[in-house]
Structure 1
Amino acid sequence: MTDAVLTLPDGSALITMGFVRGAVGIRGWVKIGSDTEYLDSLLDYGTWYLIKGKQRVEIEVETGKVVNNKELQVKFAGCDDRNQAELWQGYTIAIARADFEETEDGEYYWTDLIGMSVINKEGIVLGNVHSLLQTGAHDVLVIRGGEHGEKLIPFIEHFVGEVNLEAKTIEVEWGLDY
């Protein structure tokens, strides 16, 4: 999934990271569809923003668990029965970008790469990062919007040079005929 960026009234970014699939059990728990690399990554954040249409609700996660290594379930504070839990079905889950942990050198959140301009060593703009693909071996940048057509560039040191988050540019070793 391509991360969608929303904003809070103060202008800070919210990053969509999943959705509420529906209620589970009778004690207010919900099933979560997570768009994170690890199923339980959303549990690193105590405050979630639930969004549906023009509605946006800030909610505290009381507790959560991974069931059978394949399903994330959470209980929101104040949500104590199935009827309350069912009301959250279909809401998108967003996390404040400011709550993300700092990355190590050479590590990037996908959401920070989306929209960056990609320029090859010859100074030719190939387009902008539209999304990323996870292939198992390595991530792949999906580049669109340039006059040279869509490009798929492996996000590995051999092809990717400087990533400048401030300038929003990525320098790559990638020819027009690749």
Structure 2
Amino acid sequence: MTQNSQETVIGRITSVFGVKGWLKVFSYTDPKEGILNYPDWTLALDGKRIPARLEEGRRQGQAIVVRLKGIDDRDLARTYCGAEVMVSRAELPELPEGEFYWFQLEGLEVFTVEDECLGKVHHLIETGANDVLVVQATASSIDQRERLIPYLPDQVVLSVDLAAQRMVVDWDPEF
């Protein structure tokens, strides 16, 4: 499903919870409960975009469970399993200087301090210790290798220029 460029994915519905239409959601927000701050969702499922309204939600153990408006039984809730949860980027809070949302980093060209192009950030991976940039080769990169580069601001990632769509990293191209 191609998402609207003015939206970003903040979670995914994983399964039903109970018999009254509640759903378990895997939240990509930090903290996990942050997904509950966005009442207007767009669900992307099987090539369709479905508007949804968050009625209530809470942490349940390690999971987030929610009740969406108009979904009040388990069978109906099951039809939404697997949907991506998207919100308008305009609803996201502004971040402090030097912090970025993942979607802002995706697509940036990555250069070494020697001005060698390594490729573009395709996506990021959360590893627990630190996030990792997945940098895929482009026509202008020094080779056709995919690289996994730790996202460590001020250590590995030296600068991010969103306007120029450019990131500079202190990274050996041989890795």
Q: Which residue of 1 aligns with 2:150?
A: 154
Contact 1:5 1:14 in 2 (8 A): no
Contact conserved, 1:163 with 1:169, CA < 8 A, in 2?
Answer: yes
Once the two structures are superposed, residues 66-113 of structure 1 have per-residue CA deviations (whole angstroms, 9 ceiling, x without a partner) of 112x11110012222323322322322112222111111111111111
Equivalent position amino acid for 1:92 in 2? E
Q: Pick from 68, 76, 81 the counterpart of residue 84 of structure 1.
A: 76
Structure 2 match to 1:66: 59
SS in 1 for 2:65: strand
What TM-score do you get using the length of structure 1 for normalisation? Answer: 0.84
- Give 1:45's aligned residue: 38
For 1:86 and 1:59, locate their aligned partners in 2 and report how far apart those are by CA, in whole Å.
Answer: 15
Amino-acid identity (%) = 32
2:164 maps to: 167
Unpaired segments ≥5 residues, structure 1: none
Scaled by the length of structure 2, the TM-score of the pair is 0.85
After TM superposition, the runs of 4+ consecutive aligned structure 1 residues lying more than 4 A away are: none
For 1:94, the equivalent position in structure 2 comes to 86
Indicate the SS of the match to 1:170.
Answer: strand
Asked whether the equivalents of residues 5 and 15 of structure 1 are also in contact (C-alpha less than 8 Å), the reply is no
| Bigger mean CA deviation after superposition, 102-111 or 148-157 | 148-157
Native 8 Å contact 2:45 2:80 kept in 1: no
* Distance in 2, Cα, partners of 1:114 & 1:165: 10
Decide whether the 8 Å contact of 1:5 with 1:13 is kept in 2: no
Please tell me whether residue 56 in structure 1 is matched to residue 49 in structure 2. yes
Count how many residue pairs are aligned between Structure 1 and Structure 2. 170
